[in-house]
Structures are given as structure tokens and as C-alpha cells.
Amino acid sequence: MIIGLTGKNASGKGTVAEILRQRSFYYYSLSDVIREKVQEVGLFPSRENLFKMGNQLRLQYGPGILAETILGRLELNKNYVVDSFRSPYEVEVFRKAPNFTLISVEATEGIRFSRLKARSREGDPTTLEGFLEAEHRESENNDESQQQLLKTQRMADRTLVNDDSLEALGGKVNALLQEISNYFTRPSWDEYFMSIAGIVASRSNCVKRKVAAVIVKDQRIIATGYNGTPRGARNCNEGGCPRCNAFAEAGTRLEECLCCHGEENAITQAAYWGISVKGASVYCTLAPCLICTKMIINAGISEVIFNVEYHLNETAFHLFHETGVNVRQYKMGSVTK
């Protein structure tokens, strides 16, 4: 999951981030991008210089540049906490990522100013008036290249009030994690296996089209196959198939094609290793051709799920229907039966 933090100065975002780091979350701050640029040009990283540089970067590269930069650094399958969301455009960038939750960390002006004085950072306001003036400048602005903290906070999915002890805050963070984890999303089996089929297709050596099939039984992959020339033959992308390398017109010179299809290779791989595919399902990135259709039927496969239609499918689909093989289309992101 990705937890984003927003909130006014000294609200405790850094403390929340540290609590999450102790719970194995990887930490990033959108301000890291600004600090890197400030150091690059040789400026002191004061709050004022960071504020001006952030606005300059947004003006030059777009209001979502900080979020785009940090999001590009995140890896799959890790939990992250990302601090310092200050623009609605930054939130919109992260909304495209799965399992993203924005949390607004809040505390009263008096508490926040007391914390500010206690941490005594160079460049921080020394009076309550100066503190509130700087805060107003960062909070409300109609210029999209400037910070718009209030608008950003209104986009938060959850609010975390940090007005008590560190122990109390830790308890609130734990409760919030429990709540967020209940909404943790996982891909459906169709999405899972079709996504794997897409990865398998990337191994294809065919120069015309990359196609793959994944055979599944009891939610377990028992064989995979991608299209390409037969075992031991020269790869298609090395000139092994004259028809593909001539980029023949679709549907023509099929009798000259030396490439085996993804379904064909998956079925023969199962046979090669002595694995029965009877009653299994096959996930195909492209709907099976007529030859592969006959192989699927005779192998005892009971279900075909395909992503993209093949324009020469009519006879194949009729044969599947006649022989009782269930066929349905699954497009990544939607299901069409």
C-alpha cells in the first residue's frame, strides 16, 4: 500500500512517517526532489528556499512534477509512506497508483507553533504572527504552480488528529493501518493469470506478434507457452521463419509459417513433462486459431479465456460451442462473456 501524508507545518507528518517506517514502510518525501535541486544549485535548504524552488519546479515542469518523480522511484510489492503532499495535482498523480490512501495530519495552531519552537530549525518563524503568515501563504493560492495545502487536505481519505502523546499517536496509526488494510485490493484470478500470460508473451521470438497461453488447473499454473519456432530451430527473430520475416499479409501464406502458437506450445510442454491438462483452463493473450482450437478440444481442456479476438475465429468458436468448451473473453480491466 502507499500512504500519502499532507498537513500544515509542525502537524506531525514526520512523526507519523517515522512510526510507519518502524512498521517496515519505505519512506519518501515529495520535498526530496526540491532538496536535491536546491543542493544542485548550491543554495542553503532553508524553508524559504525550498518553498521558492518547489514553486519554480511546478511552474517549469507542471504542477504534478514532484509526485511524478517520486512515483517513478517506487517499486512493486512494497509498502510506502510518502510525505509532503501540498498540491491537488500531486494527489491526482498518486491516485493512478493502486492502494493509495491520503492522510491529513492535523493539530491546532497553538500546538503546532509550540512544536515549531521546540524543534528550533533555522529559518522557521519565531513569532506566532510570522508562523501564521507563512502558513497562509502556503495554504491558499489560485496559482497551480504554488502550494495549495487547504485544497490538498480536502482531498484526504482519512484524518489523523495529532494533539496528544507520542504513544497515543502510535495507537491511532495502528488503528488506521488496520482500517486501511481491510480495503486492500488483490487482482482477480482472471487478471492474475492473464497478466502472467502477458509476461510469458514477452519471451516470444516471433517478429510479427507476441502471443502466449497459460494452462491452469485448480488455480495452479501447470504449463505455459509462447509462439516461436520449434525447439532447436533458428529463432524467428534470427530469420528462422521466412513467412514472418517477410511480414506476409494477415491470413496469407499460413502454410509456410514455421512458428508454433502459444497454445500449441503450452499443450506440448505439458505432454513433454507428462502433465495432464484434462479439465484445465487456458488463458490466451489472443483467441485460439482453428488448429489450436482442435488441439485444445482433444487435449481435454474445458475452458478458454482470451484477451484479444482473432479475426479468423468464427469457425473456431463454433467448434468450441459444439464440443462444450466454455469460451469467454477477459480484457485487462474488464470482463466480457
User: Catalytic residue positions?
Assistant: 263
Task: Give dist(CA 102, CA 166) in Å, integer.
Answer: 21
| Alpha-carbon 36 to chain mean position | 25
Give the Cα separation of 2 and 81 in Å (integer).
6
Distant-in-sequence, close-in-space partners of 195: CB < 8 Å, separation ≥ 6: 187, 332
Reading the block at residue 280, the C-alpha cell is 484445465
C-alpha cell at 296: 485444445
Instruction: List residues bridging with 308 in a β-sheet.
Output: 286
Is residue 327 left, alpha or beta, with left meaning phi > 0 and alpha meaning psi from -120 to 50? beta
Distance between CA 17 and CA 84 in Å, rounded? 10
Residue with cell 493469470: 193
Amino acid at 167: E
Q: Residue length, the chain?
A: 337
- Say which residue the cell 488483490 belongs to: 186
How many beta carbons lie within 10 A of that of residue 218, not counting itself? Answer: 8
